[in-house]
Amino acid sequence: MPKVAAALVAIVCWAGLAIQFGHTYGFEHRIGLTLWVIARFFTVVTNLLVALVMTWVAIGRRASPEVLGGLTLSIILVGVVYWALLQNLHHPDGLAHVANILLHRVSPVAMALWWLLFAPRARLRWSAPWWWLIYPVAYFGFILARGHLDGRYPYPFIDVGHLGWSQVAMNAGGIALAFILAGYAMVWIDGWRPLGSKRARR
C-alpha cells in the first residue's frame, strides 16, 4: 500500500509538471527556454523533487525520514503560501488551471497524507527543521540572483524591484520563521502519530 500511494503522489506531481511544461512551451516554443522559465518557481522545483522521491519510493527504494519530512514540509509551504498570498492574484484557465490545481492544491495534500500514513515514524530529530530550511534559503538566494540579472521575480512578495530589499527581507524572514515553527510542529506530530512504519528511538 505505501508503494501504491507513493505512485499516486508521484503521478499527481508528474501530471501537473507535464501540463505546466506544455502550457509554457506553447508561449516559448523552445525546450531549454521553457525549462528556464518554469524553473524559477518554488512550486515547480518542489513538485519535481516530490515526484522524483515518490517515484523512488514507489519502485521499492527507501528514502530517509529526514528527506521525506523535509519534502513534505516544503510542499505544504507551497500550498499554504499559494492559499494565503497568491490565489487571488492568479486566475489561469484551461489546462493551466488543471496544472495549477494539481501543483498547488492536490500534491501538498497528497504528500501530507502519505507522510502521515506511511512515512517512518518517530525518527525525526528536533534539529531537523534547521536542516530543512537550507532548501528554501538556497532557492531564495538563487531567485534573488536570477532576478537581479533579468529583473523578473516569480512571486510579488519577493519582487525587489517593486518592494525594495528591506521589505523583501522582512517577507522572507516571516516565511522562514513560519517554516521553522511548522517544522517543529511536524517533529512533534511525528513523535505521536499512530500510523507509519515501526517506531524507533531518536
pLDDT in tens, the chain (202 residues): 889 999 999 999 999 999 999 999 998 889 999 999 999 999 999 999 999 999 999 999 999 999 999 999 999 999 999 999 888 887 888 889 999 999 999 999 999 999 999 998 888 999 999 999 999 999 999 999 999 888 899 999 999 989 999 999 999 999 999 999 999 999 999 988 876 665 544 4
Say if CB 85 and CB 157 are below 8 A apart.
Answer: yes
Spell out the domain ranges in the chain: 2-192
- pLDDT, position 202: 41
Which 3-state string (H, E, C) describes 142-201?
Answer: HHHHHHHHHCCCCCHHHCHHHHCHHHHHHHHHHHHHHHHHHHHHHHHHHHHCCCCCCCCC
| 0.95 surpassed by pTM | no
